[in-house]
Amino acid sequence: MLSAELKLQIEEATTRLKNGEVVGFPTETVYGLAARIDSEAGIKRIFSTKERPFFDPLIVHVASIEQAKSCTSEWNEMAELLATNFWPGPLTLVLPKSKNISDLITSGLPTVGLRWPAHPVAQELIKAVGVPLAAPSANKFGRTSPTKAQHVREEFGQAVQVIDAGASEIGIESTVISIKFLNDQYQLALLRKGAVLQTKMNEVLFKTRLRFQWVEAIDKKESPGHMQHHYMPSMPFIVCRNPHLKLSELSTILNTRLAELPDLIDGVKIIKPTQAIKKIEFLKLSNDPAQAAREVYSQLRAASLRKPEALCFIQMPQHKGEMWESIFDRLYKAASLIVD
Ligand code: TXA
Ligand code: MG
């Protein structure tokens, strides 16, 4: 049961969405910035509020499999299998889009990303609106994703309503996979790693008679939004993949290599130190990958606010396994420098 306060917030959000506004809302992965899929003004406002380029498609959020079916022209057995096993949850399925999904949402692609989020507030909001919601993560383009309502307020200010339901439980964005049927079998491509792990999907897949293979998404156009840099904090963030490096050696490397960095990386401004770095702050994450995922973005944001000269994460041998791969996918993109 949701509290009366949350119900009121959902009611206000529903009205705003009807008026073509955008609204911040919680999901179990990260906070999203929503607009109704049938509101062109709302969808356009997502891009302008985020300062997001139109080539990066939005994920459509639904609250039932029936609703998902209305967004795709090809709900197949593979989609049904994965949806029944992993929805509601942090998995986005990319399928051919139906007519009610505009080109604005998909950036002109013939496919749409669909997800039924597990968060009860997200589900209540979608149900109250009665129409699926297009929603990217609620951060300025290229910046760190929000896992708390406060993060969304810091991004967009008071003009955007945010439904506050505390911290997101998973902490990193959904796993994105594309599903195609070609030459008598399903071709699955992992477009973004997340908390639904490939081995877990395989466990389900191997129990069925469905023929499938995992393929690389070769065509860049098919996996847009996968730029090299993303989630970036405002100060230099360094991932050091060599745990044996001494602090003095690391400082020397940073002082030469940071000076060579451009001021803008993929459109995101990085405040470079003007003098030699004296003190490096270290990002500390739990050794438990579920907890590390939950805290990684808020730690990056908290560090950004403290404005250290540089922030560094040391990759350790124990950071192994699929969930750590999902986390490192974010850390490498957030890094202005990777040191080996
Ligand atoms: O967990 C999540 O997925 C969060 C919450 C709010 O649901 N949303 C999210 O949205 O991470 P966003 O916009 O930050 O990331 C969406 C990404 C795109 O950048 C793109 O990589 C992929 O999903 N995507 C969406 N539609 C696609 C499509 N038709 N084909 C290929 N990739 C697509
Ligand atoms: Mg995002």
- The helix or strand, by DSSP H or E, that contains position 199, with its residue range, turns out to be helix 198-206
Q: Is residue 226 part of a domain?
A: no
Note whether 52 and 107 are same-domain residues.
yes
Q: Which of 215, 248, 265 is the last residue of a domain?
A: 215
Q: Are residues 63 and 129 in the same domain?
A: yes
Going from the Cα of 244 to the center of ligand 2, the distance in angstroms, rounded, reads 33
Give dist(CA 119, CA 66) in Å, integer: 18
Residues 277 and 324 reside in one and the same domain: yes
In a domain, 203, yes or no: yes
Whose CA is closest to atom 32 on ligand 1?
223
Q: Omega of the bond prior to 132 within 30 degrees of 0, cis?
A: no
> Do 304 and 182 share a domain, yes or no?
no
Q: What are phi and psi of 63, to 5 degrees?
A: -125, 15
Q: Domain ends where: 215, 249, 266?
A: 215
Do 314 and 200 belong together in one domain? no
Query: Is 23 found in the same domain as 147?
Result: yes
With the most atoms of ligand 1 within 8 angstroms of its CB, the residue from 28, 51, 59 to mutate is 59
CATH label of the domain that carries residue 211: 3.90.870.10
**Strand order from edge to edge, sheet including 237-240:** 280-282, 310-314, 237-240, 337-339
Residue 292: inside a domain, yes or no?
Answer: yes
Note the pLDDT of residue 227.
63
pLDDT in tens, the chain (340 residues): 899 999 999 999 999 999 999 999 999 999 999 999 999 999 999 999 999 888 899 999 999 999 999 999 999 999 999 999 999 999 999 999 999 999 999 999 999 999 999 999 999 999 999 999 999 999 998 888 999 999 999 999 999 999 999 999 999 999 999 999 999 999 999 999 999 999 999 999 999 999 999 999 766 666 655 566 777 777 788 999 999 999 888 888 888 887 777 777 766 676 777 777 878 899 999 999 999 999 999 999 998 888 888 899 999 999 999 999 999 999 998 898 899 9
Who's near 103: CB < 8 A, 6+ residues apart? none
Residue nearest to ligand 1 atom 7, measured at CA: 32
- Ligand 1 atom with minimal separation from the 29 CA: 1
pLDDT digits (tens, 9 = 90+) for 196-238: 999 999 999 999 999 999 999 766 666 655 566 777 777 788 9
Judgement on whether residues 102 and 247 belong to the same structural domain of the protein: no
The total domain count for the chain is: 2
- Lateral strand order in the sheet of 175-182: 161-162, 23-25, 32-36, 133-134, 59-61, 111-115, 91-96, 175-182, 185-192, 212-214
The predicted structure's pLDDT at residue 212: 97
The rounded Å distance from CA 306 to ligand 1 centre is 30
pLDDT at position 224: 58
Do 115 and 167 lie in one domain? The reply is yes
Q: Which two tokens stand for residue 204?
A: 């389900």
The one-letter code for the residue type at 25 is F
Indicate whether 164 and 209 sit together in one domain: yes
Residues with CB under 6 A from ligand 1: 27, 29-30, 32, 56-59, 90, 92, 94, 106, 109, 111-113, 115, 117, 135-137, 173-174, 176, 191-192, 222-226
Q: Which domain holds residue 81?
A: 4-215
Q: 285 lies in a domain?
A: yes
Domain-located, residue 36:
yes
Number of H helices, E strands in the chain: 11, 16
Q: Model confidence over 253-275: pLDDT tens digits?
A: 888 887 777 777 766 676 777 77
The residue nearest atom 29 of ligand 1, judged by CA position, is 112
Judge whether 225 lies within some domain: no
Q: Which of 217, 219, 170 is nearest to 191 (CA)?
A: 217
- Ligand 2 centre distance from Cα of residue 226 (Å): 10
Is the residue at 168 inside a domain? yes
- Asked if the structure places residue 232 within a domain, the reply is no
Residues 161 and 308 in one domain: no
Choose among 50, 34, 44, 40: nearest CA to 124.
34
- Answer yes or no: do 206 and 266 share one domain: no
**119 shares a domain with 184:** yes
